[in-house]
Structure formats: C-alpha cells, structure tokens
Structure 1
Amino acid sequence: MTEDTPHPAPVKILLVEDDDADAKAVRRAFKSARISNEIVRVTDGIAALEVLRTTTADALTEPFILLVDINMPRMNGHEFVSELRSDPKLSRLIVFILTTSNAHYDLKTAYQNNVAGYIVKEDAGRDFLRLADTLACYWRLIELPVGD
C-alpha cells in the first residue's frame, strides 16, 4: 500500500447459521484468535436476504464475507446462495459454506453457485479456531472491492 492508497475498511461477517451452539463457537473462535471483526448473525437465508437488501441504518456495509450453513429452516444455504447469484446487486458477494455436510451433492452444488470455499465444520478445527485463522489470512491477503 502506498500513502495514496486508502486503508481497507474492516471486513464484516454475515453469519447465516441456525444452530446457536455453532454460532457461539464461531464467535468464540474469533475472540480467541483476537479477531475483532464485526459478526452479524441471522438464522436462515430469508433473514440474510432481508439484511442484505435493506437500506436502513442496520444494513451491513461493505466489505463483508458471508459464512453460510446449508441445513437451515425456511431457506437453506443452497437456495440462499442461488438467490444471491441471481440478484445483480448481490451476485458478487464472497460466500463460504460452513456446514456439517460432506456429501458430494452439497459440495458440487455449492461450487456451482461460485462459493469462495466449502468448509466442513468438523474440519474447521477444535472450536473453529482454524476457520478463524483461515478467514483472517484470506481478508488480509485478498483485495476486496468496496461499493459498486
């Protein structure tokens, strides 16, 4: 970065996860890894779309990364990501799937929807510490677009 280059805004995380224990574990992992990025949590795809499409002060400002579970009520993770990709304003969002499923169908479907990564919860490390470390490295190394 040069002096003329603006410093990147802190990356926010939209956690789309219906399981309270997993959501708490993700937050604890970030705290343990001393990652202070804001985490906004919703419990399903419909609620996530409401957050992403709102124009109120509660709107999630860019840049941000989405962590999305697959098995959720009302709208599952695949349906949610498919809806994102069909919306011109949301289609370029960075999505990581965070799931218990290691089924080939789920993996294939996720990557067909252009996710940035597919993380099986049990592979994310004890208490999701490896997940926190991986995401911290990702947003430190990757240039993220801000705005349109």
Structure 2
Amino acid sequence: LILAPTRELAQQIQKVVLALGDYMNAQCHACIGGTNVREDIRKLEMGVHIVVGTPGRVYDMITRRALRPDHIKIFVLDEADEMLSRGFKDQIYDVFKTLNQTIQVILLSATMPAEVLEVTKRFMREPIRILVKKE
C-alpha cells in the first residue's frame, strides 16, 4: 500500500509501478478521489498486488471492506512531510490503525520536520533513518 498526497502523484506512482510490474506480472491499482468507487471496488475484489492512493479514498476502500488490511505487508507513506502539511494526519492514522502491527512501514520525506519525526515514533518500531545530503 502506497499513500500519496495528491491524485496526480498517485497516478504517477501507479505508472512507474505498472512499468516495473510488466517484468514481474505485478498488478497495481490507484484508489483516488474523483474516480468511480464501484470500479475501485471491482478492481480490488479481483485482486491486485499493489495499491496506490490518496488517504481518503484508501480509507474509504478499507471501511467498505474492498481493501483488506490483513493482506497488506508494506505500508509506504510517500512525501510524508507534504501529507502532514496538507492536513492528512488523521486520515493517515485511521488507515494505519487498521493495519497489522507487524507491517513494514516506509516513510519517504524531502524534509524531516517535527511532525514527520512524530509519525516515525508512532508508526515504526526501531526505525532506521537514511538521510541524504543536499546537493
């Protein structure tokens, strides 16, 4: 499961995943607002390997039982700093609360503000930080 702050970024991630997935037969679906809910449900019920989406639509799919959290092994928060600054904190927590405690969490962020560090404390056990210097 990959969460992104915008529909556009989620669609961009989906394109990359589909391109990579061609070599591995990996199926990917984007769950984003502004698209047909029934189509999302149909795709998820058919089964996909990777779900990319915005927090609101992903949580909606979980509450409708179309997306089954017990099948999710990796949770990626892309542009975490951006998501928190846009006010997605509660929605991210709602999604996270449905996931298994043993899930692997990957948090990607261009900056490390206090809010992002708080999220690492809340969601991650013994997090490993990989910091890249500015060019």
TM-score (normalised: structure 1): 0.47
Q: Give the CA RMSD over aligned residues.
A: 3.8
Instruction: Show the counterpart of 2:71.
Output: 63
> 1: CA distance between counterparts of 2:91 and 2:114?
16
Structure 1 residues 92-141: Cα deviation after superposition (integer angstroms, max 9, x where no partner): 373322333x2241441121212365778x96xxxxxxxxxxxxxxxxxx
Question: Quick check: 2:10–2:53 contact (8 Å CA) kept in 1?
Answer: no
Structure 1 residues 29-80: Cα deviation after superposition (integer angstroms, max 9, x where no partner): 743884736111212x22221122222xx3236331221232249752x333
Q: Counterparts in 2 of 1:67-86, with a 5 A limit?
A: 67-69=76-78, 70=80, 71-72=82-83, 75-76=87-88, 78-84=89-95
> 2: CA distance between counterparts of 1:75 and 1:28?
29
- The counterpart of 2:17, out of the listed 13, 27, 31, is 27
**Total equivalences in the alignment:** 102
Bigger proportion of residues as helix:
2
Relative distance call for 1:90 and 1:110 in structure 2 (3 A) is same
Question: Quick check: 2:58–2:95 contact (8 Å CA) kept in 1?
Answer: no
Question: Quick check: 1:16–1:68 contact (8 Å CA) kept in 2?
Answer: yes
Instruction: Show the counterpart of 2:58.
Output: 48
- The counterpart of 2:3, out of the listed 12, 16, 19, is 16
Relative distance call for 1:75 and 1:47 in structure 2 (3 A) is farther
Name the % identity.
Answer: 14
Question: Quick check: 1:15–1:67 contact (8 Å CA) kept in 2?
Answer: yes
> 2: CA distance between counterparts of 1:79 and 1:23?
23
- The counterpart of 2:114, out of the listed 105, 118, 128, is 105
> 2: CA distance between counterparts of 1:119 and 1:41?
23
TM-score (normalised: structure 2): 0.50
Tell me how far 1:28 sits from its aligned partner: 5.5
Relative distance call for 1:91 and 1:60 in structure 2 (3 A) is closer
Tell me how far 1:27 sits from its aligned partner: 0.9
Q: Name the SS for the 2:70 alignment partner.
A: coil
Unaligned 5+ runs, structure 1 = 1-13, 124-148
> 2: CA distance between counterparts of 1:54 and 1:80?
15
4+ long deviations beyond 6 Å: none
